[in-house]
Amino acid sequence: MTPDRSTKKIAVIGLGYVGLVIAACFAAAGRRVVGVDTNLAYLEALRAGHAPFHEPGLDEILAEQRASGRLTYTADASEGVRGAKFVFLAVGTPKNSGGQADLSQIEAALRQFVLLLEHGVSVVIKSTVPVRTATRVREFIEEARGPDFEFSVVSNPEFLQQGRAVESFLKPDRIVIGGDCQDAVERVAVLYAGFDAPVLLTDHETAAMIKYASNAFLATKVSFANEMAKLCDAVGVDFLTVARGVGMDHRISPFFMSPGPGFGGSCLPKDVAALVALGADSGVEMIMLKEVLRVNHRQPRYVYNKLRDRIGEVKGRKITLLGLSFKADTDDVRDSPALDLARILISQGAIVHAYDPLAEPKSIYLLPSVLHHPDPYAACSGADAAIICTEWPEFRKMDLERLGALMSTPVLIDARNILDPESAARHGIRYTGVGRGSDPAA
């Protein structure tokens, strides 16, 4: 593939965690990009010079690309799509009440711009969508524009990881491009010509399934680690060492083997649920994936039970959550296990306090009764116990002696296993991890 730095315009519809990163990175690769979003608060933040959410390194690229004139934003789909040779669909595909992917944002976006698409355009599906969605998109456009309208639909699922989205978009493990028109697939492949990654060209259905299967496998690994960690707790074995030994087998790898409060975020839970639902709709019971979700659903309760074992009843007691986002380096709290834990604690009558370096604004409306603090020490002051829910680097560096002295009872449940149990015990903390076999005496 030869790099194509032509000024062919790219429109990106949806400037969320995925769309904004790809818009910024394609602009940085020398392309002319217009980002479209219906969220006016997002556009306001972008025009003020920063991303509407936290993603390391993104603000810098946005500033450079705004200054270069290659990246512009609009709420007006007609302005965005007019003259575009590629229209990337990066809107949300959340879970509906039946567990399926809700495609209403895709449908609404298509309705907004279908009559404005240029001849020869490629509509590229970036959002995670079930098999056969590309066919539905093609039929929708054909119906709206008639048989003489020339266009193509290409499936190009995204694998970036929040918290390191820019890096993982620019240096992906693979680029998957699916479609039924070889030319169109290759035109999209050329957009990635400068990227150092293997490219897998395939059909629409396979591309969509690769995305779902990847997330299902990662989720399975996490639930496996959590189940093994529970067993290790019961029989007095340190699962962290077990995971290290198991992960040394290159067929397994050490990644996604960390036990904790369960997986969350906007992808793994909904994508596994969508596969289970697709199985049900297709007459295939996804037995293992159902269990993966079940194990995950129970995990916050497992952490809560550890707390109960340490302090007994939580009613009327101050419990502090350290971290609310579903993982470190993001402010995203969608399906965050920390919020599930907060809900369990609130339902049991606990007074829940919290500190998160970034996620307070996004969690405050979801859980208005949680009391937020500006740092971990203020949050833990007078607490009966604290639970580390997110692996924020700053929690690794906490002054444990100070923390323990401030708490009413120095009980710390480290649901992310980021602290050294012995060192915590030496500082007077009554420490409990997940899957560490036994807790140090304290």
Residues making contact with ligand NAD (CB under 6 A): 13-19, 36-39, 42, 90-93, 105, 108-109, 112, 127-128, 158, 160, 162, 266-267
Rounded to 5 degrees, φ, ψ at 111 are -60, -35
> Would you say 208 and 155 are in contact if contact means Cβ atoms under 8 Å apart?
yes
Q: Phi-psi category of 431—alpha, beta or left, where left has phi over 0 and alpha has psi -120 to 50?
A: beta
Minimum separation from the CB atom of position 158 to ligand NAD (A)? 4
CA-CA distance, 24 to 17, in Å (whole number)? 11
Closest to ligand NAD by CB, 265 or 437: 265
Q: How much of the chain is in helix, strand and coil states, percent to nearest 5?
A: 45, 15, 40
Count of alpha carbons within 13 angstroms of residue 285, beta-carbon side: 2
Which residues pair with residue 411 across a beta bridge? 430
Minimum separation from the CB atom of position 176 to ligand NAD (A)? 12
State the catalytic residue, choosing from 25, 232, 267, 380: 267
Minimum separation from the CB atom of position 42 to ligand NAD (A)? 5
Show the DSSP H helices in 282-366 as ranges.
287-311, 337-347, 360-363
Minimum separation from the CB atom of position 254 to ligand NAD (A)? 21
Closest to ligand NAD by CB, 204 or 317: 204
Residue 380 designated active-site:
no
DSSP reduced 3-state for 225: helix
Minimum separation from the CB atom of position 92 to ligand NAD (A)? 4
| Residue 94 amino acid letter | P
Minimum separation from the CB atom of position 160 to ligand NAD (A)? 5
Instruction: Name the nearest CA neighbour of 10 among 85, 109, 114, 120.
Output: 85
Biggest CA–CA distance in the chain, Å, is: 76
Strands 84-89 and 351-355: unpaired
Closest to ligand NAD by CB, 73 or 355: 73
End-to-end CA, the chain: 62
Closest to ligand NAD by CB, 92 or 404: 92
Which residue lies nearest ligand NAD, judged by its C-beta?
A: 16
Minimum separation from the CB atom of position 273 to ligand NAD (A)? 12
Closest to ligand NAD by CB, 82 or 426: 82
CA-CA distance, 90 to 17, in Å (whole number)? 9
Cα 26 off chain centre by: 21
Burial of residue 206 (number of CB atoms within 10 Å: 0-12, 13-18, 19+): middle
CA-CA distance, 300 to 261, in Å (whole number)? 5
Burial of residue 287 (number of CB atoms within 10 Å: 0-12, 13-18, 19+): exposed
> Would you say 182 and 152 are in contact if contact means Cβ atoms under 8 Å apart?
no
> Would you say 322 and 388 are in contact if contact means Cβ atoms under 8 Å apart?
yes
Closest to ligand NAD by CB, 159 or 355: 159
| Residue 146 amino acid letter | G
Instruction: Name the nearest CA neighbour of 278 among 391, 398, 139, 128.
Output: 128
Closest to ligand NAD by CB, 261 or 265: 265
Instruction: Give, for 379, the enclosing helix (H) or strand (E).
Output: helix 376-380
Closest to ligand NAD by CB, 277 or 412: 277
CA-CA distance, 133 to 123, in Å (whole number)? 12
Closest to ligand NAD by CB, 27 or 36: 36
Cite the active site residues.
Answer: 267
